Amino acid sequence: MSTYRTEILLCGGTGCRAFGSEEVKAALKEQLERHGLEQEIRIVETGCNGFCAQGPVAIVQPEGIFYQKLNAGDIPYLVEEHFLKGRPVKKFFYKEQAGAETIPVMGDIPFYSRQELIVLRNRGAIDPEKIDEYIARDGYLGAGKALLEMTPEEIIAEIKTSGLRGRGGAGFPTGLKWEFANKSEGEIKYVLCNADEGDPGAFMDRSVLEADPHAVLEGMIIAAKAVGAHQGYIYCRAEYPLALRRLDIAINQAREYGLLGDDILGSGFSFDLDVYRGAGAFVCGEETALMHSIEGRRGMPRPRPPFPAVQGLWKRPTVLNNVETYANVAQIIYKGGDWYAGIGTETSKGTKVFALTGAVRNIGLVEVPMGTPLRDIIFEVGGGIPKKRKFKAVQLGGPSGGCVPESRIDTPVDYESIAKVGAIMGSGGMIVMDDRTCMVDMARFFMDFIQDESCGKCTPCREGTKRMLEILDKITQGRGEPGDIALLEELSAMIRDSALCGLGQTGPNPVLSTLQYFREEYEAHVYEKRCPAKRCPELLEFMVDPDRCKKCGECFKACPVGAIQWEKKQTASIDKNKCVKCMSCIANCPFDAID
């Protein structure tokens, strides 16, 4: 029986590790041993805690005290004050709570209190490398119920009742997909998990695999029973080393406990899993390209039909869902489809996980009920726009998505509403942009990504995206011509209607949505040779506005080439002959004095 009086839940996800959480853990261990507290206080390295902007973060249980932005040098003081003297250290509290009269806990922080967790229910709460901690939080009860008490048809009926739709982008009903595979003929079938998360700014799947890998394994076991599959694969990109390591540990533990392999839980049903490491091709996120990659072939999409549920991996009936979809399944089976259907909207049930990033205070992983307005996610959970900037737009759905402007910020996040404003839900990337963002340059950035990642199989995507990128480069460099905007629209329509796969078909979305809501920015670039957001260097000449300059010298300190002249209590000036238009002065001026 444990003798620990306190647990320190230290985030050990990739984000917090980048900020030094491993050094913090080592310092904690050393200090606890030094003071003879190692038998009373346990350090638990969890997966991603979600609040990435504040990392490394730690939660002290059972009180629930939340510490943020720790570093190894802080630990001796923290251990002495909190764990020896019983005085929680305010300097490490979340900044909005540091002055609170009572000791604040994690649940008081708006970032956490305004979320509803299903997929992320175990985030920051368990050691992802210990299966017993997952089991202690109702882990594998859903799988046990499915294997021992339910028929495949009953499992599918429960998933259909829940209204769960695929969280990988298209939102296809999960129960219907499983039903197709269940009815497909063939003794050999497969269950696949798509963890090939490649969208810029997206880290949902990685974080779930790092924090709660058994939730994904359990969902896949249930899916296998539903469709009659006995072998599964998790396709995860090799750039996720921590997620891959924890997946391997989880799979081996599940096998050791009899939860994978032959005759699981004495049910007579057998199922096993392997992990396939992807080489980082964005197109392998498309289901048929992913299957080609597992088969050892070049990852390129194929025409459909036949659909994977009829003829997928090695031409066998195959079910493919993404990480987030599978992470919902066990709780639906355990708690019932009606419970899940009670969350969300009429057509979009449950919750959705978003990777909230960009120009927003609280960067991190958030989970909210379907139907939550974008405004609430960005300003309530996300804390709004930093540095008193104005919200301009939010990019949803990654490179294949679209931007939603300020005028549509009250749009609820569900599949139909997001589509109506010209974006897609996608897998859950949410990049917030402030008023300094050039929407033409943003569209150029995403088109550059799409063109670079095109597999090249079909001409519309291979050649069309290249031509669109050339036009966008011209426009942002001040070489735009009358007719370029119309040509972008023509090419977008052609690619959308004729590209082979969904990635190519949705590739023009960033251009189409920015043209819909920010056409005047395109026109300013083309006809006036002007960038309204002041982000395209070729269209800018830099000067200091003497009325707004506060003589602080921040621009002088930031300039890497000595192009700025400044002395104390004097207005700065810019030598245009030396200026290389790196924009460091704009980025560092706190008063927007650079024009």
Residue 2, pLDDT score: 55
Secondary structure (DSSP) of 378-411: IIIIS---GGGPPEEEEEESGGGSEEEEGGGTT-
**pLDDT, tens digit, for every residue of 214-271?**
999 999 999 999 999 999 999 999 999 999 999 999 999 999 999 999 999 999 999 9
Q: Along the 595 residues of the chain, how does pLDDT read in single tens digits?
A: 357 899 999 999 999 999 999 999 999 999 999 999 999 999 999 999 999 999 999 999 999 999 999 999 999 999 999 999 999 999 999 876 545 556 768 888 889 999 999 999 999 999 999 999 999 999 999 999 999 999 999 999 999 999 999 998 778 999 999 999 999 999 999 999 999 988 888 899 999 999 999 999 999 999 999 999 999 999 999 999 999 999 999 999 999 999 999 999 999 999 999 999 998 888 998 999 999 999 999 999 998 899 999 999 999 999 999 999 999 999 999 999 999 999 999 999 999 999 999 999 999 999 999 999 999 999 999 999 998 899 999 999 888 889 999 999 999 999 999 999 988 888 888 999 999 999 999 999 999 999 998 898 999 999 999 999 999 999 999 999 999 999 999 999 999 999 998 888 988 999 999 999 999 999 999 999 999 998 898 888 888 888 899 889 889 898 999 989 999 888 988 988 888 888 888 888 888 888 7
List Cα–Cα distances, 580 to 88, 321, 437, 476, 532, in angstroms.
49, 48, 20, 17, 20
Q: In order of start, what are the domains of the chain with their CATH numbers?
A: 6-106 (3.40.30.10), 131-341 (3.40.50.11540), 351-434 (3.10.20.600), 439-527 (1.20.1440.230), 541-595 (3.30.70.20)
- DSSP-derived pairing of the beta strands 391-396 and 429-434: antiparallel
Nearest Cα to 251, choosing from 213, 225, 281? Answer: 213
Q: At what angle do helices 152-162 and 174-183 cross, to 10 degrees?
A: 160
Contact 166, 295 (CB under 8 A): no
* Region for residue 127 given its phi and psi (left: phi exceeds 0; alpha: psi -120 to 50; beta: otherwise): beta
Residue 527, pLDDT score: 95
Question: What does residue 7 show for φ and ψ, rounded to 5 degrees?
Answer: -125, 135
Q: How far apart are CA 541 and CA 559, in angstroms?
A: 15
Q: How far apart are CA 535 and CA 435, in angstroms?
A: 11
Question: H/E element holding 58?
Answer: strand 58-61
**Coil, strand, or helix at residue 412?**
strand
Identify whether 306 is preceded by a cis peptide bond (ω within 30 of 0): yes
Secondary structure (DSSP) of 197-211: --STT--HHHHHHHH
Q: What is the dihedral of CA 68, 366, 439, 390, to 10 degrees?
A: -60
Residue 107, pLDDT score: 84
Nearest Cα to 442, choosing from 362, 517, 342? Answer: 517
**Coil, strand, or helix at residue 353?**
strand
Contact 539, 531 (CB under 8 A): yes
Encoding tokens for residue 27? Answer: 């310092």
Residue 1, pLDDT score: 39
Contact 147, 265 (CB under 8 A): yes
Q: How far apart are CA 165 and CA 413, in angstroms?
A: 14
Q: How far apart are CA 93 and CA 16, in angstroms?
A: 17
Q: How far apart are CA 472 and CA 575, in angstroms?
A: 30
Number of C-beta neighbours around residue 109 at 10 A: 19
